[in-house]
């Protein structure tokens, strides 16, 4: 059998069960190294046990006072939280209404009758010309009148 593992030494010194306890016991009886290692482990455990922490403090009074403090703080916070929620609903409602109004304005279609000739010329760039007749443009786009002045 191999030497006793560190983990088994810890288990033995702690009084915890080990796998194959008979084999381990037989090995410890014949192996001075492992027996010495177990003795050292038990020494560590005994030293650790000497460290007691105290004196004991009764924490309940302090915990009860902390509970009372938190219960007092919770009340104004609940009111503030309610006000905050109401304000948030108001802001969201106004924002949604504003956004809905904007969207309705962008999609509005213009009736054909409202489209004027000037607006149409503006749209294709002829709006820049104040008076097309002054540039002779009309002569280009309209047929010249005949001698009697008719077209």
Q: How far is the CB of 37 from another protein (least distance, A)?
A: 6
| Positions in the binding site for another protein (CB under 8 A) | 6-7, 10, 14, 16, 33, 36-37, 40-41, 43-45, 47-53, 56-60, 62-64, 66-67, 70
Using only C-alpha atoms, the chain has a radius of gyration, in whole angstroms, of: 49
Q: How far is the CB of 19 from another protein (least distance, A)?
A: 13
Q: How far is the CB of 27 from another protein (least distance, A)?
A: 16
User: How far apart are alpha carbons 14 and 54 in whole angstroms?
Assistant: 23
Minimum CB distance to another protein smaller for 52 or for 148:
52
Minimum CB distance to another protein smaller for 20 or for 45:
45
Q: Which of 74, 18, 58, 63 is nearest to 41 (CA)?
A: 18
Minimum CB distance to another protein smaller for 5 or for 133:
5
Q: How far is the CB of 50 from another protein (least distance, A)?
A: 5
Minimum CB distance to another protein smaller for 49 or for 130:
49
Minimum CB distance to another protein smaller for 78 or for 100:
78
Q: How far is the CB of 75 from another protein (least distance, A)?
A: 16
């Amino acid at each position: 059998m191999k030497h006793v593992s560190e983990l088994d030494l810890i288990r033995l010194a702690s009084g915890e069960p080990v796998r194959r306890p008979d084999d381990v016991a037989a090995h410890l009886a014949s192996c001075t190294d492992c027996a010495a290692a177990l003795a050292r482990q038990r020494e560590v455990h005994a030293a650790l046990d000497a460290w007691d922490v105290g004196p004991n403090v009764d924490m309940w009074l302090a915990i009860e006072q902390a509970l009372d403090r938190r219960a007092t703080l919770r009340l104004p916070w609940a009111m503030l939280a309610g006000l905050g929620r109401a304000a948030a609903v108001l802001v969201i409602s106004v924002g949604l209404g504003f956004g809905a109004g904007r969207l309705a304005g962008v999609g509005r279609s213009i009736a054909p009758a409202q489209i004027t000739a000037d607006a149409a010329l503006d749209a294709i760039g002829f709006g820049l010309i104040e008076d097309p007749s002054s540039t002779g443009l009309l002569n280009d786009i309209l047929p010249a009148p005949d001698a009697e002045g008719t077209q």
